[in-house]
């Protein structure tokens, strides 16, 4: 399956086609948004329900193997940079991803998640940061935590550190040479706009009405499957019984009305039409991905 880079707000920043710039401590798009990245799973534990990696535009995102190669190259370049400051660094081994979360492009879709977590996302453990002393971390990250537009300089043993640290410099090095921002923006636009446009498609609107009627029969009043997750009552830290009951009914009604499949097919058709119109730009994106991945693999091979 395909994995979007966490620093890119994906399938909108993923979405597809953005550059891989993930690293220790980085995050992703908010759960439930049309930009929500798919969580990659290992062969032993795959997500229960996925849509982002099946949509036509997903072809223009990095594959899991490509992302792994690029992230490994970023770590090699970071290690080289840190060495010039006299800092020894061994990148952590890349662990297999084992999340079983479903993506939420179309809202909650997993019965097991509904029963366990209601509308709360299954965040899983946070990735560990680099194992470095505090002063060395400033070299790793630079002034990443400074205010936007800040001219703050980071100096380590009399030497100025790259603005975004060795890691940020390493991400930028590959991005500047190989990324295709205009083509990536085309992919992001298609993904984001197709989601918005799908809401107005007659089959989707009818499916929403059927879902709403099903929810009423279960004692819950919502006009749209987008509404429950935005219920302030369900955004508290604790997960209430009411939240779980609503979530379970939500998923049951989606299954009963075939809403997810109808919505997916409608959006897929919209994307295919836009992909045909933008085939030249998207081919440029695929070429950029291939070239960047090949460069990343050379860097890793060189160590």
Residue 86 zone, left/alpha/beta (φ > 0; ψ -120 to 50; rest): left
Number of Cβ within a 10 Å radius of residue 129: 13
Give the span between the Cα atoms of 96 and 64, in whole angstroms: 11
- CB-side neighbour CA atoms (13 Å) of 204: 21
**pLDDT tens, the chain, 303 aa long:** 343 333 333 333 333 434 444 343 333 333 334 443 322 333 334 445 588 889 999 999 999 999 999 999 999 999 999 999 999 999 887 766 655 567 899 999 999 999 999 999 887 777 778 989 999 999 999 987 666 656 678 899 999 999 899 999 999 999 999 999 999 999 999 999 999 999 999 999 999 999 999 999 999 999 999 999 999 999 999 999 999 999 999 999 999 999 999 999 999 999 999 999 999 999 999 999 999 999 999 999 998
To the nearest 10°, report the CA torsion of 117, 120, 125, 127: 160
Token output for 93: 């081994």
Region for residue 291 given its phi and psi (left: phi exceeds 0; alpha: psi -120 to 50; beta: otherwise): alpha
Predicted TM-score (pTM) of this structure:
0.79
């Amino acid at each position: 399956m395909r994995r979007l880079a966490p620093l890119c707000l994906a399938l909108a920043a993923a979405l597809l086609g953005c550059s891989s710039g993930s690293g220790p401590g980085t995050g992703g798009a908010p759960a439930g948004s049309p930009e929500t990245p798919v969580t990659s799973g290992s062969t032993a534990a795959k997500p229960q329900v996925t849509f982002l990696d099946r949509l036509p535009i997903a072809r223009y995102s990095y594959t899991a193997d490509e992302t792994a190669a690029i992230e490994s190259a970023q770590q090699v370049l970071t290690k080289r940079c840190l060495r010039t400051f006299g800092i020894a660094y061994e990148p952590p081994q890349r662990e297999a991803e084992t999340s079983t979360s479903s993506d939420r492009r179309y809202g909650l879709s997993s019965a097991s998640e509904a029963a366990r977590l209601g509308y709360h996302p299954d965040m899983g453990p946070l990735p560990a940061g680099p194992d470095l002393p505090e002063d060395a971390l400033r070299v790793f990250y630079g002034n990443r935590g400074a205010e936007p537009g800040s001219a703050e300089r980071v100096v380590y043993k009399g030497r100025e550190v790259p603005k975004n640290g060795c890691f940020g410099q390493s991400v930028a090095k590959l991005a500047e040479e190989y990324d295709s921002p205009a083509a990536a923006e085309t992919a992001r636009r298609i993904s984001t706009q197709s989601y918005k446009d799908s809401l107005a498609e007659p089959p989707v609107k009818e499916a929403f009405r059927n879902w709403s009627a099903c929810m009423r029969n279960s004692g819950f009043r919502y006009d749209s499957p987008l509404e429950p997750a935005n219920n302030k009552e369900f955004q508290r830290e604790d997960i209430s019984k009411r939240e779980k009951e609503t979530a379970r009914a939500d998923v049951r009604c989606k299954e009963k009305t075939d809403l997810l499949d109808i919505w997916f097919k409608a959006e897929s058709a919209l994307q295919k039409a836009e992909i045909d119109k933008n085939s030249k730009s998207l081919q440029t994106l695929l070429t950029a991905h291939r070239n960047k991945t090949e460069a990343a693999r050379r860097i890793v091979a060189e160590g």
